[in-house]
Copies of this chain bind each other. A is one copy, B any other.
Amino acid sequence: MEQEISKAVIRRLPRYYRYLGELIDADVERISSAELSAKMNVTASQIRQDLNNFGGFGQQGYGYNVKYLYNEMAKILGLDRVHNLVIIGAGKLGQAIANYSFFEKRGFIIRGLFDVNKDYIGRKIKDIEIMSVDTLSDYLKKNDIDIAAITVPKDAVESILDILVDSNIKAVWNFAPVDIELPENIIVENVHLLDSLMQLSYNLTEYEQTV
């Protein structure tokens, strides 16, 4: 369709959505790009450019209607429909994600947890059953799951990916500290916690050296 949206823009979209949500909570009805730019610490120009990638949501002389823009952003982000998730790896991290009610509020519904550990299997986290990874392939074929969150140790990732590709998963939300290679029709989004911590460490070290 129209031209490709850059990654830089996409990264900013959730942030716009978040601020718009806060404005709604604060009963703000309309906002100009200049006002929003002050709140978000970006330029008004960037806000207008970013939004105009997706359409003209504002009105000259008025600005943007907060509720309308919020809903439009939700559509752009695909939050106007339910996404079904499974979490693979029922360790502490997998459990933490399963417990985090924030995701469900935005339509990301966790349907199942999978693990190799026999002690876990059969137990429940918040009504979500922990199943054996041996049944994962079957499960994915019988249920309409969009996203697989991977919270298994590094060495277990490869075998899981084989199952996921074979089962035509649409997207992978990867928490393992590896870069995963998948056919290009499968969306991959990484959360590299150790990378994030290392960036923090870099900035800390940098800062201490300059003082």
Contacts and interface: CB of A to CB of B under 8 A. Distances in A.
A129 interface: no
Contact of A100 (B18, B92, B199): B92
Contact of A187 (B83, B192, B200): B200
Contact of A76 (B1, B189, B202, B210): B202
Q: Majority SS of interface residues in chain A?
A: helix
B95 A202 contact: no
A100 B193 contact: yes
A103 B197 contact: yes
Chain A interface: which size bin? Answer: 35 or more
Interface in A94-153: 95-97, 99-100, 102-103, 106, 108, 146-147
Contacts of A102: 177, 193-194
Contact of A95 (B13, B96, B173): B96
A186 to B, nearest CB: 9
A-B CB proximity, top 4 nearest: A78-B205, A14-B195, A189-B200, A92-B96
